[in-house]
Structure 1
Amino acid sequence: MPRGERPLDVGDSPLLRFAADLRSLRDKAGGYSYRQLGARAHYSATTLSDAAGGRKLPTLAVTLAYVRACEGDVAEWEDRWHQVAAEVSPNPEPRPDEGHPPYAGLAAYGTEDAEWFFGRDHLLDDLEQRIAHRRFVAVFGASGAGKSSLLRAGLVPRLAGAGRVVVTTPSEQSDPDLSAGLLIVDQFEEVFTLWQDDRRAAYLDALLAAPCKVVLGVRADFYGHCAQHPALVAALTDGQLLLGPMGPEELRQVIMQPAVKASCTVETALVSRLIADATGQAGVLPLMSHALLETWRRRRGTTLTLAGYEAAGGIQHAIAQTAERTYTSLEKQQRALARQVFLRLTALGDGTEDTKRRLPRAELDHDVDVDVVLDRLAHARLLTLDRDSVEIAHEALIRSWPRLRSWLAEDRDGLRTMRRLTEAAATWESLGRDPDALYRGARLDAAVDWTQRDGVRTSAQEREFLADSLQARDRERRLAHRRTRRLRQLVALLAVLLVLAGTAVVLAIEAQKEAAEGWKSSAAWFVSNQAQALRGSDPRLADQLALAAYQLNPTDALRDGVLSAHAASAQDMVSRSAFPSGQGLSPDGLPRPNARVPTPANDTTYLPLGKRTTPSATVTSMAVSGVEQAFATTLEGRTARVWDVTDAIAPEVAHTFTFPVLRIALDPAGARTVVTVSEISDVVVWDWSDPARPVERSHLIGHPRPVNGVAYSQDGQVVVTWDDAGTIRLWDVSNPVHPLRIGELATGREITAVALSPDGDTLAAGGANGVVRLWDRSSQWAPTEVWAQKVHPEAIRALGFRRDGKALATVGKDDKVVLWDVTDPARPAERGRISGRTTGVYAVSFGETSQKVVTSNSDGTTRSWEFDFDLAVTQMCAAVEAHISRDEWQQYVEAVGALEYRRPCA
C-alpha cells in the first residue's frame, strides 16, 4: 500500500472518506502509479500520495490537478472539496490578541466602524451637498448595495459637528425623534412591511412636518410604494440619490484600506480575484465583506492570501452557505415557493452555463407567502428586488449552491416547458388574449402534463392561459365530433338512398334546404359586415343594411348587430342625472328637459342638454342624490365639491372638502348621508341635512387594505366598500352615528365594480378579468356564490340592477353593454349584447322602460342603450330620410345573391 494510505473503516471522518474517494478515482482511471500520475498532474508523486492519504486536507489546487489527471469531473470535486473544508476546517476562532477586525462581514458598518469605512467619498460629497440645500433627502439602492453603511459609517461622522444626529429605523422607534438637527431613518421600507395604513400615514405625516432635516434609506424595490404618497413624492423631488454597484477603484479601496489600517497586506492576486468576482454585481458588498473577514482570520502572518480566500469559500460559497441556511429556515410551503422562484430566475443554457434571468414581478402571484419568501431571500442578499423586477443577486449562486443545481438537473426538459409556457402566456396577454395565440396539440399536452407533476407551481396568468387553451381544445373536439357524426350520418343516408330512391328524393330536398340556410347565414354576415364598414361614412345606409342582414337570417347575433347600430346613433346627453352614485342613475333615470349642469373641468361653464362636452379634467368619482337636489364630484386633482342644484339654471357650490377625496357616494334615496374615502382609506359617513355644512358622524372602521370603491344600496340603507385585496364589506348606515358591519366577503380577486339588488338578497361583483359573480346573501356573513361567468374578455367597468331586481346590466372595457335576465340568480340568461364606446363609463342603471340601459361617463355625459328590439327598429326607420336605393341594394345585398330589392323599413 503506498505511503500514507490506509483502509477506510466505518465511522471514518469526512476527510478520510474524501481521501478514499480520491483513491477510487485513481483506480477507475486505470490504476496509474503515483509517479505516472505526477507526470500527468505536474505535481510530485509524494504530494499526490499525501493528498490521497487522509492525514490532512490537500489544497484545492492539488486536488483539482489530481482529478484532472484521473479524468474526473472537476466541478463536482471542487464542490466536494469546499464541503469537506467546511467540515474539517471550521471558521477559526478569533485570536485573543487579534484586535478589531478590519471588515464587518455580512453586517452593515455602524457609526462605531467609521474608521474602517472606505470607497464612497464621492457619493458622500454628493449626499452632503443635497442635505445642505434640501430638508428631505432619500438614498435608494438594491438590497446589499451598502445603504446602511453609507448612512451610518459614512454620513454620520461627516456631520458630527453640525448638531445632534439621530439614526433610527421604523421598527426601532415607531415615533420619530424630531428634536434632532438631522434625523436618519434607515430601512425606511419597514413602514410598508410592518405597519397598517393608519400608523404608516401618521409616521409619514410626522416626518414631513418635522422641524429638522430628514434622510431616508430605502430599498429600491419600494420606490413604487413611496410614489403612492403624493406629499412624500413632492418632498423628494430633486432629493433622491441612487446607490449603484461599486466600480473597480472603489472596490480596491474597500479591500485594501481596512487591511492597511490593520497593519496587514493583501496579495495582489487576491485583490484582482475579488474585483473580478464583485465588479458590476448588485447586492454583493455584504458577501464580499464576509469573505474578506474569513480570509483575514485565515491570514498568513499579516498577509491576506488568495489561498485563505479560497479556503474561506470566497464570495461564491459564502452565497451558497447563506442560501442553504435561509432556505431551510422557511416553512414547508414557503420552501416550495422558494424553489419555484429560483427556477424561474434561472435561464437554462444550451451548450453553455445556466445564467440568471431578470423576472418581471407580474410573473409571480400576488400572494402573502410569495411576498414573505421574496423579502426573506432579499434580506439574506440572495435576491435583488427592484420596483418591477426580481433577479438573483449573483450568478455564483447558480454555480455554487448544490441544492439549486440539483433542482435544475432534475427536469431540464420540464423547466424549458415552463419557460415556453411563461413566454406564451405573456404573449397571449399582450395580444389582448387572442384565441389564435393559445396552445394546441402537443404543446398543450406537454404543458398540462408538466403542471401535474409534484412540486410544480404555475402563475395565475399561466393557469388562465392553460384553462382557455383547454376550453378551446374542447370546443374544437366537439365540433370535430359533430362533423364526424354528420359524415357518418351522410354515409348511412347514402346507403338508404341506394335502396330507397323515392326516399332519397325527399332527403335531397331537405339537404338542399340546409344548404340554403347555410348560404343565407353567410350572406347575412356579409351584409352585416358591410353595414359596420359604412358606419363612419354613411350611417343612414349602415342602419338599413344592418336591418336587411337580420331580415335575411334572424339570429341573436345579428339582432345584437341591429341594437348596436341603433346605439351608435344615440347622442350623449348632459344633465343632472349624468352624475350617478355608485349604484346607478337617479330613480327615474331620465335627463330633465332644459336642465343645465356644471362641467367637471370648469366650475362656471354650463352646457345645454344634448350637447357633448369634453372637459379638460376627468371625473374620478361622482354621486347624485335621489331627488336630484345635490350632486358631488371628485376630480383627478382629488378636489371634492358638493353642488346645490335646486336651481338647475344656476347651480352653486354648496361645500368643498378640505382634504383629498378619492371616492364619494351620496345617499340615492334622499341625500340624507354622504360617504367619502380619503387617500389613507379613511371611510367617513357625513350627515347631509345641510349640504353647505356636512357634519362628520362616524367612520367605517375595519379596512386594513386601501379602499378601491364605495357604493350605496338603492334605498340608501346599506353602504358597500371593497378594497384592493378583493374583500367586500357591507355596512348598515340607517343610523349614521352608529354604523354596523353586516357582512364581509373575501373574494381574493381584483374587484372593479359592485352592485346590490334592491331587496339586498343578491350581491354582484365584477373583476379585472371580466368575470361577474353573484352571491346569495340569505346568510349575511356566509354568502353563497350561485353564479360566475366570464361575460367580458376584459375588466368590468360597471354593474347595475333594475329596480325590480330581475335584470342586471354589465359594462365591459371591451366596449360592450350586456343585459341579463336574473330572475333566477343561479341561471342568468343573456338578453342582448350591444357594441359601443364604453371608455370612461363608471356607472350603469336603467331608464324609463325595462329594457333601456343608461350609462354615465367621466366627462359628465350619459348614453342610452335600447335593448327593446322592436322599439329600436321603429326609431331607426323613423329617422330614415332616404331609403336604400336599387343601386345600393345591388352593390351591397344582391352582390352575394341575397334578396331581391326590398326596403328594410318599408
Structure 2
Amino acid sequence: MIAGETATEVELLAVSPSSSGSVPYPGLRAFRRDESPLFFGRDTSIDAMVDRLATTRFLAVLGPSGSGKSSLVRAGLYDALKLGLHPSLGGRWQIAECNPGRRPISNLAAALARSAHGNADHDVDLLAAQLGRGPRGLAEVAGSETLFRKGWNILIVVDQFEELFRFRDYGEREETEAFAALLMETVQLDLPLQVVITMRSEYLGACSLFPRLAEQISAGSFLTPRMTRNECLEAIEGPSAVADCALTEDLIAAVLNDIQCFAPFESSANVDQAEVLAHQADQLPLMQHVLNRMWRSAKDQPGREPLELNLDDYNAAGKLSGAIERHGEDVLKALEQECGPRIDRVVEQVFRALFDGPSLSLAVRRPRKVEKLIAAGGGEGRRADVLAVIEAFRADDCSFLRTSEPELDDQVVVDLSHESLIRRWPKLAEWFAAESETDRLWQRLADAAEDHRSDRPAFATGAALERFRDWWEREQPSRFSAERYGKDYDALSQFLAGSVEEARRVAEQREAETKAAAEEREKKRQGEAERKLQEREAEARREQEERWRKVRRRIGYAAGIAVALFIGAAIVNWQLARRNDELNVTRQQLVLATLSSQRAALMFVTQLCGRVDEKDREQCAASYLRQIEKAAKTTAVTALPTQQATGEGGTAAPSQIIVGSRR
C-alpha cells in the first residue's frame, strides 16, 4: 500500500521513445491499439466480449495477472468495435482509457480530455469537479459537444480496476466510492456510453465493498480463458507472417514445448496449484519477450535477408525461462560500463519503487512520476543516474519500463511493463523481498516510536534495535521510502538515533558496572589470597615450630640416653676395671704360685738329673723353661689385656718372673 501517491498510468499509451510498428512481437508490454494486425489467437474471446458488451453495456474483463486482459481489450476489442462488429452501435467510437490510481475521478477527467476531438484544450480540474458532483456527473459531461463528437459512441475503459481497493484513508475511500457510483449510474442511463474494466480475478470479493458493483460485474463479466496450444501457435506464426519473417519448424516446436513444460496446458492434481497459476500468468509475456529478442537480434545481424528465426537464435536469447534474466543482466552491465558500479544501487531503488504487494505471487505494478523516482534513487544529486536508468530500461529494444511521454521530465509517469518481470528476473525477486522487509521494519519502527511517546516511554533495545540498526545501515532508507509507507522520516530517524545513543549509554554504564564489579571481585580475590597466604605461612611456622619441638625432644631424649649410656658405661667400665684388678691380683698370685711350683719342680728335676752332664742339663732346663714361659704369656694376654707388656699395677710380667727364676 502506498501513502500519498497520486501518480498513475493515465497516459501510459506511449511505451517508448521510438514506438515503431515494425516489430512483430511487443515483448513484455501489452499490445497497443495500433498493433491489432499483430494480435492473433484470440478471435473466439473477442467475439464473446463484443456480445457481452452489447447485452449489458458494462463489460468486466477478468483474469489473473499475465492472462492478456489489457491486450485483449486494446488490440482485440477496440479493433472489433471500430470494424462495426457491435450489432447495434456501428463503428464510430471515441475511447477514453485510464487507470484509477489514487485519484480515479481526476484520472478519468484527464482521459476524457485527451480523447476529446478537435484537440480542444480542456481544464482537467474543472472537468474533474463536474464529474464529482454526483453519480450523474458523467452523464452531464457527455452532452458537451466540445468534449465528445456528436453521433459517436463513447467507450470508457478503466484498466487495472483493482487499484480502487488500495485506498489508505477516508478521503481516498470517499473518492473511490464516488467513482464506482459514477460508472454504475452511467450504464443505467440511456446514453451512447459503454464501460469496460479490466481487473485481476483475485479482487472479485472486494467488489462487494461498493453498492451495485458486484451485481453489475456478475452480469457483465468475461473471464479471460487461457490460450490453448493451437492459439499459442497462431500467436507465434501470425505476427511473423505479417512482418515477412520465417520461423523454422524446430523453433516453433521448441517454443511450444517449453510453454507446455513451463505451464502445462492440462493441469495436474499432483502439483502446487499456486505455482501453476503463477506460471500460467507469465507464459504469454515470456513468449512474447523471447520472440521479440530473437527478432531484434536477427534483424541487427547483416546478411540475414530474408529474415528467418531458428533454434540457434532461441538458445542464444536464453529460451523461454531465461530470456528476461539474460536481457536484464545485459542492460545492467551496459549501464555499469557507462555510469560506473554506483549505478547498481540506483537501479535497485528505481525498480523497488515501481512494485508493491504482500507476496511475490501477488506483486503489482506501482506507477511513479519521475520526480518520485529521483527521490527514491538518492535525490537531486542522482538525477542524471536515475534518468539514465529509465532511458536504458525503456529503450525500444528493452521495454522493461514504459513512460507516459517520450520526453522525460519530473511529471512523466514511469511503470513496469508487466508483473512477470518481478517474478522472472531473480534480481527483482530479491529486491521485492528486500522492499517487503523494509515495509515491515518501517511499521515496527513506527510502533516502537509510538510506544516511546506513550505513558511508558522506552527506546528500542535488544534484538529489535540490532535489527533496526542493521537494516538502516544496509538500506540507508530515504524520505521517499518513509513517505511511501506513510511514516515520518524525521521522527523515526531521531527515535532510532536516540535508541542507539541510549543503548550506547546503557552499554557504557553496564561496562563500567561490570568493570567495577570485576575490580571488586579482583580486590576480594587478592584479599582472600593474601589471607590464605598468611594462614599458610602461619601454618608453616606452626609446623616448623612443631618439627623443632619434636627435634629438640628427640635430641633431649638422645642426650639423656647418651648420658645414661655414658654413665652406665662408666659404671660398667669401673666395675670391669675393679674386677680386672681383682682378677689380675688373683692371676698374679696364681702365676707366682705356679712359677714357684715349677721352680721347685725344676730344682727337683735338676737334682734328679745330676748324673747328666752339665750341657745336657742346661738344654733340658732351657727347653722346659721355654714351655713354661709360653704358657705363662698366653695366660697373661688373655686375662690382663690392659697390662700386657709394661706390667702396670706394680706386678712383674710373667716373662720377667720366669727369667728371674732362670737366673
User: Counting helix residues as a fraction of each chain, which structure ranks higher?
Assistant: 2
Q: TM-score, normalised by structure 2?
A: 0.38
TM-score by length of 1: 0.30
Which has the bigger relative contact order, CA under 8 A and spacing at least 6?
2
